[in-house]
Amino acid sequence: MMRSINPWISIWTRPCETMKAMLERGESAAAFWLMIAGTFINTLDRAAGRSAGDGMGFVSILIIAGVTAIVGGLIGYYVAGAVLTWSGRRLGGEGSYRDVRLAIAYSKYRSFTRTSLGFHR
């Protein structure tokens, strides 16, 4: 059994150990909301990269990003999780559908934080 870790800090210094601990803890509402928040931030980042503000208002961009985050978050969490689980098994992987979904969601934290702080690709 792993010692208790704070995943919001340890994901930066010990990502493998953190992911293992998160998978042991299991499903949580935080994983789903993290997926939504990560998709929202990524959508805003893409809008900024494409200068979307030149052609539409700020509120419009926020609404589009919100809708995209909900739809994209659901697709990413459930559909992409299923596709990655299926393809992973075809390649000899052992992760369950739940584990793959959690890994996708918790991996969003790093990109969410980097983008929020202005560290772009």
Domain edges within the chain? 33-116
Separation of alpha carbons 6 and 30, rounded Å: 14
Is the pTM higher than 0.85? The answer reads no
Amino acid 89: pLDDT? 95
Q: Which residues, other chains included, contact 60 with Cβ-Cβ below 8 Å and sequence gap of 6+?
A: none
Q: What is the pLDDT of residues 32-65, one digit of tens each?
A: 888 898 889 888 888 888 888 888 899 999 999 9
For 61-101, strand residue ranges (E) read none
The one-digit pLDDT tens for each residue of the chain (121 residues) are 445 777 778 888 888 888 888 888 876 778 888 889 888 988 888 888 888 888 889 999 999 999 999 999 888 889 999 999 999 999 999 989 999 998 888 888 877 777 777 766 5
